[in-house]
């Protein structure tokens, strides 16, 4: 495994982050694994050198955090593990169990700490920006958590570059902790983040942690078409994925990925992940795995270096997209 620093911090993270949305209980989503079925993935990841794990309170409504915490405490050394979670989405009916108010952030963090079974969360991220709560209130609440020792670093996920820049500026003005990471929608089929967000992150030395690096399986070859809803259990039930990718040019990129994978004699997923890892701004793609071969394929991407010609071929068919993934 290769390691790098998390943005401008001194903390070291593996070049792959295991996303734990797929672990918890299938009663939340049919494609989510139970705790018993999920445990081998944590063990394999840790044995392979992955020390970076990402979950969120809303994944399986807390069960992902419970499963993740128990598995990491059993298989890993918590002093080496970098554990990330997130807050924003509703956890229950009612107006105060959601968003980024001071009340919800503090209460949600306390609940996450209990479910994870840890004293502090290494990277606590806002899952989206809150259009209702002033950013000053959100950042002050996060500062409170850092100062109280419950959170070590803070990050953000998916938003406009102006929102992120304003948050960084506000933190600097008030002397509060800055966001050290941006978890955003970025892959071969969706590169709109290259316009403003990624240059901002590079300039500010912010870690980029792409979600959906394989475009919901399209870049892994598991779906037969952009609108495929039958090839996998997730494809059949992942309503959020509908509309994320569109157009003939997107499928041309899938074909190019497939062709280069065939030439190399490696799985498509390795080519797509190797492309992301070739980008200087990218710290660690967040990978999901519900089958062991998916995790093994991702691990193989870390040591795969694409040629300039291969990168050019992968990028040649890209066309601008509407912004997707902020909501």
Active-site residue list: 59
Task: Report which of 191, 203, 214 is spatially closest to residue 164, judged by C-alpha positions.
Answer: 203
229: CB partners within 8 A, 6+ apart: 235, 236, 242
Structure tokens at 220: 């892994």
SS (H, E, C) the chain: CCEEECCCCCCEEECCEEECCCEECCCCCCCCEEHHHHHHHHHHHHHCCCCEEECCCCHHHHHHHHHHHHHHHHHCCCCCCEEEEEECCCCCCCCCCCCCCHHHHHHHHHHHHHHHCCCCEEEEEECCCCCCCCHHHHHHHHHHHHHCCCEEEEEEECCCHHHHHHHHHHHHHHCCCCEEEEECECECCECHHHCCHHHHHHHHCCEECCECCCHHHHHHCCCCCCCCCCCCHHHHHCHHHCCCCCCHHHHHHHHHHHHHHHHHCCCHHHHHHHHHHCCCCECCCEECCCCHHHHHHHHHHCCCCCCHHHHHHHHCCCCCCCCCCCC
Distance CA(38)–CA(167), nearest Å, equals 36
């Amino acid at each position: 495994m290769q390691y790098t620093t998390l943005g401008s911090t001194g903390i070291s993270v593996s070049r792959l982050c295991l996303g734990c949305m797929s672990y918890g209980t299938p009663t939340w989503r049919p494609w989510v694994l139970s705790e018993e079925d999920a445990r081998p993935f944590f063990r394999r990841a840790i044995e392979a050198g992955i020390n970076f794990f990402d979950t969120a309170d809303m994944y399986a409504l807390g069960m992902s955090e419970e499963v993740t915490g128990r598995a990491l405490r059993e298989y890993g050394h918590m002093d080496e593990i970098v554990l990330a979670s997130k807050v924003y989405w509703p956890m229950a009916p009612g107006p105060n169990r959601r968003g980024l108010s001071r009340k919800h952030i503090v209460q949600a963090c306390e609940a996450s700490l209990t479910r994870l079974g840890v004293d502090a969360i290494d990277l606590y991220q806002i899952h989206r920006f809150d259009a209702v709560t002033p950013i000053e209130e959100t950042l002050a609440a996060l500062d409170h958590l850092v100062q109280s020792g419950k959170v070590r670093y803070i990050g953000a996920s998916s938003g406009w570059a102006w929102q992120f820049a304003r948050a960084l500026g506000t933190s600097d003005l008030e002397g509060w902790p800055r966001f050290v990471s941006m978890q955003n929608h970025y892959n071969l089929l969706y590169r709109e983040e290259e316009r403003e967000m990624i240059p901002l992150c590079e300039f500010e030395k912010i870690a980029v942690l792409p979600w959906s690096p394989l475009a919901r399986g399209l870049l892994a070859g598991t779906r037969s078409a952009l609108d495929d809803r039958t090839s996998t259990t997730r494809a059949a039930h992942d309503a959020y994925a509908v509309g994320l990718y569109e157009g003939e040019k997107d499928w041309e990129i899938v074909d190019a990925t497939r062709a280069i994978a065939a030439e190399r004699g490696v799985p498509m997923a390795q080519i797509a992940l190797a492309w992301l890892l070739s980008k200087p701004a990218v710290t660690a793609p967040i990978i999901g795995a519900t089958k062991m071969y998916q995790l093994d394929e991702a691990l193989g991407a870390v040591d795969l270096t694409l040629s300039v010609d291969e990168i050019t071929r992968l990028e040649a068919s890209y066309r601008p997209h509407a912004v997707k993934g902020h909501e």
